[in-house]
A = this chain, B = another copy of it.
Amino acid sequence: MKNAVLSAVVLFAPMASFADPLPSWGNSDSKNRIVEFVEAVTDPSGSDYVTPAERIAVFDNDGTLWAEQPVYFQLTFAMDRLAELAEADPAILTTPTLEAAAKGDLQAVAEGGHDALIEVLNASHSGLSVEDFQASVADWLDTARHPDTDLPYDQMTYQPMVELLRYLRDEGFSTYIVSGGGLHFMRVFAEDAYGIPPEQVLGTYTATTYETGDGTPAIVKAPEIAFVDDKEGKPINIERTIGRRPILAGGNSDGDFAMLEWTTAGDGPRLGVLIHHTDAEREWAYDRESPIGKLVDGLDKGPDLGWVIVDMANDWNRIYTGSD
């Protein structure tokens, strides 16, 4: 037995070190720079060595770890859920906006702007316990399909990024999500989809209350957004929740600019990674003019700040986890 174990160690250790941890990344400057960075901060004899405790990597979710077109997936969930709730009780559709949302009329919701969005989110995301809310998200993920790809939404994660997260953890990093998306929404799939446990998911959150009414204490979601985890909110939330400045940050839009800026402005080795959506054929191509995932500052200033700009069309040889 002992000899068998020793032999296995001798045989497999060198193989492991030759295996490509990022097989869905084509050979590119982007991949090389990421691997060089990871090798530098994990080499105990090098001047750029960083202890495992300080190897904090943070990633936006929508458009960075999974797709975000034609509309944030969470909004699709909200409208689907509203339709479901209205089937049981049509009286909940108290305004034209809610009626339109329950019919799946995205155009009408979009025209209502920020107020309409909040109205739809409140009606679909509050007044129930976190536990019940998360059960409804899990049900939706089991059945809903994306209109263009016909994939379950949690299969529209980017395989190259799933590999990057795993690679970083294998190299002693802690990997966090820091997203404008809903905290309670993301926690439902983050562990299975990305290997990221609940305590490493940061996001926008509703206020919650502690209720003991029926003798069973519960945390209940209130119809009020307590914190928006976007733009400056991202570094603020990271400092507040993690208490360390990350050494690696990944994003795809100007909502991630402050997070990458704060991360890469620290002392020592730092890496910012921006996913540039350039692949109209396999995914979507959008940046400066897009209402979703708008990317201007990152493209204008990122390269001078040393950030890696990932060209999806050229740098990735596979897109979704759910399709080859």
B235 with A198: CB separation less than 8 A: no
Stretch at the interface among A32-40, A116-124, A240-248, A286-294: A240-248
A242 with B199: CB separation less than 8 A: yes
Measured between C-beta atoms, what is the minimum distance from A173 to chain B in Å? 13
CA of A136 to CA of B232, assembled, Å:
25
Q: Residue of B at shortest CB range from A206? A: B240
Say whether A128 faces chain B, with CB atoms less than 8 Å apart: no
Measured between C-beta atoms, what is the minimum distance from A244 to chain B in Å? 6
Say whether A236 faces chain B, with CB atoms less than 8 Å apart: yes
Q: Mark A198-241, 1 if CB is under 8 A from B, else 0.
A: 11010001001110100011010000000000001001100111
A262 with B210: CB separation less than 8 A: yes
Among B187, B212, B235, B242, point to the contact of A217 (Cβ < 8 A): B235
Residues of the B chain whose Cβ atoms lie less than 8 Å from the Cβ of A198: 242-244
Residues of the B chain whose Cβ atoms lie less than 8 Å from the Cβ of A174: 199
Q: Residue of B at shortest CB range from A259? A: B210
Q: 18 A-B contacts, Cβ less than 8 Å apart?
A: A53-B197, A174-B199, A183-B240, A183-B243, A187-B243, A198-B242, A199-B241, A199-B243, A201-B243, A205-B240, A209-B232, A210-B232, A216-B265, A217-B258, A217-B262, A217-B265, A219-B236, A219-B239
